[in-house]
Copies of this chain bind each other. A is one copy, B any other.
Amino acid sequence: MDQTDKNIRFMKAAIDEAAKAVPEGDVPVGAVLVVDGEILAAAHNRKESSNDPTAHAEVLALREGAMKLGRWRLSDAILYVTKEPCPMCAGAMVNARLGALVYGCADKKGGAAGSLFDIPSDGRLNHQVHIESGVLEDECRGLLKGFFFARRMAV
């Protein structure tokens, strides 16, 4: 399986994870943390359901992965996320010395990995995270648009 196939396989897993947020009333964003070609941790946005302002998919996946490995350094890990991370999540990736970030769609209003900021690539910080973007971009964007459309209809 080449890297493109791997990216698609893991982003599909992140999308499946994102879908779990919807019945819980949370914006559908999902993440999987991959180490040695296997999914070590998977999480979805749980900000509303857990009343935790930090419970974004990326932070939860990084925390779960670090707990399983018994170390906070995740330089051998790749994080797949359906949406471009916010400043908090992008900063968490730098703090974890994450190896690579692969995300689906950009977030022009709040994204911190290329849109408003580029925190994971910032050479002034003590670690840089390799970034790939646009993997299953249309599907990832559609997931968010569909959610917000349905929510507006329900009001």
Contacts and interface: CB of A to CB of B under 8 A. Distances in A.
Contacts of A52: 63, 66-67, 72
A114 interface: no
Contacts of A122: 116
Secondary structure type dominating chain A contacts: loop
Interface of A: 47-48, 51-56, 59, 62-63, 66-67, 69-74, 86-92, 94-97, 109-110, 112, 116-117, 119, 122, 124-126
A62 B99 CA distance: 27
A95 B91 contact: no
A74 B56 CA distance: 16
Contact of A87 (B69, B91, B96, B109): B91
